[in-house]
Amino acid sequence: MLEKALTGSRRYWVWIFFLLAVIGTGFICYLRQFDYGLGITGMSRDVSWGFYISQFTFLVGVAASAVMLVIPYYLHDYKTFGKVVILGEFLAVSAVTMCILFIFVDLGQPMRVLNVILYPTPNSILFWDMIVLNGYLFLNIVIGWTTLGADRKGVPPPGWVKPLIYLSIPWAISIHTVTAFLYAGLPGRHFWLTAVMAARFLASAFASGPALLIILCLIVRKVSKFDPGKEAVQALGKIVTYAMFANVFLLGLEFFTAFYSQIPGHMHPFEYLYVGLEGHGKLVPLMWISSIFAVVALIMLVNPNMRKKESALAFACVTVFISLWIDKGFGLVVGGFVPNPFEGVTEYWPTLPEALITLGVWAIGFLILSILYKVAVTVREETSSWPSLH
């Protein structure tokens, strides 16, 4: 089926070569980082994780969100999602690949990455994260490819894929829970030491992932003859709405615990992020943009008349995605390191090479996504005249 990605319109190839150029730029910067060391980034002794690990954390959520399509379609036989479920699975493949790459570019000694397998250490959450991420990647590639291949031949998917699909449901939950545990189990990092971390991660994942998927569905409909369906987009819109409310609610719980208890260690990271601490507040404007976008998105999403207009829904989804990207793809990781263990404030801001490497990894993700979507869309265009088999 992969050959379908090798033929396309001029617009398709311009897009592919644009991505390749971004990847190339990122790769050159990575070679520089590989030579010089991670000092090329904005990270420091005090803020020892930055953009790379934040992107990884955010994208685990995007990957996990495929389950929001798999559950209704396969467990509740919600046929409306029949056409989009493959888009969700392929989005998961692309997102998990980015996650793995972001961990890789964050390593100080990337040539030793196999030490994680050579010296397996079950007490380390990172060990489990490696297992669940790779497992999830494998599951989604196999499930997505097999079901699409069956579709193409006009036959139902083979029986053996069903157990894998069921397995992928708890597995999706596990990738984001384990990722939350990377943070939530560390003593002395007040911002992360919270039992609702995994729940908050899942809520934000189920908002940001489907929001991105809605945008992708609308793009796919525009650039191809394949229509994922108005009803499917609307159903996804409802999922985004509920999940975004849950996410804002959980964030509110964090604020309550910190500011009603008034324990300084719990308040300081929130103060740093939203009003600044000891005269430092590089992230304050971003965090407020995130908050305002969240409110705007919720007002638009909760109003059914607005949500039903696809242009308004698309706008709301873009604001949800940006809001959550700032919150989780930036603020969450940095906030955990400020203040430092000595109650001092060291700020973090990514450097240009760091930003270009980050963009390069995103471009690899989008390249994988574009190729997989091209295959899926072409297969669907060819079979769209056939009656549904599911």
Partner 1 sequence: MSINRREFLKLAGFSTVMGLTGSSVVDELLKTKAEASQVLVDEKALSAKRWAMVIDTSKFKTEEDYKSVIQACHSIHNVPDIGNPKDEVKWIWTDTYEHTFPGQENEYIPEGIKHKPFLLLCNHCYNPPCVRVCPTKATFKRKDGIVMMDQHRCIGCRFCMAACPFGARSFNWRDPRPFIKETNPEYPTRTKGVVEKCTFCFERLARGLKPACVEKSNGGLIFGDLSDPKSEVRKVLSAHYTIRRKPEIGTQPSVYYIIGTGGNENA
Residues in the site for partner 1, rule: CB under 8 A? 36-39, 43-46, 48-49, 103, 106-110, 112-113, 115-116, 118-119, 121, 123-127, 130, 182-183, 185-189, 264-265, 336-337, 340-344, 346
Would you say 61 and 201 are in contact if contact means Cβ atoms under 8 Å apart?
Answer: yes
CB of 238 to partner 1, least distance (A): 37
Would you say 200 and 247 are in contact if contact means Cβ atoms under 8 Å apart?
Answer: yes
CB of 204 to partner 1, least distance (A): 20
**Which residue number, 188 or 279, has a Cβ lying nearer to partner 1?**
188
d(CA 205, CA 208): 5
- Which residues make beta-bridge pairs with 280? 277
CB of 61 to partner 1, least distance (A): 19
Give the side-chain half-sphere CA count within 13 A for 372.
Answer: 26
d(CA 202, CA 210): 12
CB of 266 to partner 1, least distance (A): 12
**Which residue number, 171 or 337, has a Cβ lying nearer to partner 1?**
337
CB of 372 to partner 1, least distance (A): 29
**Which residue number, 109 or 388, has a Cβ lying nearer to partner 1?**
109
CB of 121 to partner 1, least distance (A): 5
Chain length of the chain: 390
CB of 14 to partner 1, least distance (A): 38
**Which residue number, 39 or 304, has a Cβ lying nearer to partner 1?**
39
Give the side-chain half-sphere CA count within 13 A for 319.
Answer: 22
**Which residue number, 116 or 355, has a Cβ lying nearer to partner 1?**
116
- Class of residue 188 by CB neighbours under 10 A (exposed 0-12, middle 13-18, buried 19+): exposed
**Which residue number, 50 or 88, has a Cβ lying nearer to partner 1?**
50
**Which residue number, 7 or 48, has a Cβ lying nearer to partner 1?**
48
d(CA 3, CA 88): 21
CB of 64 to partner 1, least distance (A): 21
Does residue 228 have a cis peptide bond before it, meaning omega lies within 30 degrees of 0? no
- Class of residue 195 by CB neighbours under 10 A (exposed 0-12, middle 13-18, buried 19+): exposed
* Alpha helices (H) in the chain, listed in sequence order: 10-36, 51-64, 67-70, 85-106, 115-118, 125-153, 161-184, 197-223, 230-261, 264-274, 284-302, 304-308, 310-326, 332-337, 352-383
Residues contacting 333, CB < 8 A, separation 6+ = 49, 50, 53, 54, 57
**Which residue number, 82 or 331, has a Cβ lying nearer to partner 1?**
331
**Which residue number, 185 or 285, has a Cβ lying nearer to partner 1?**
185
Q: How far is CA 240 from the centre of its chain?
A: 14
CB of 192 to partner 1, least distance (A): 8
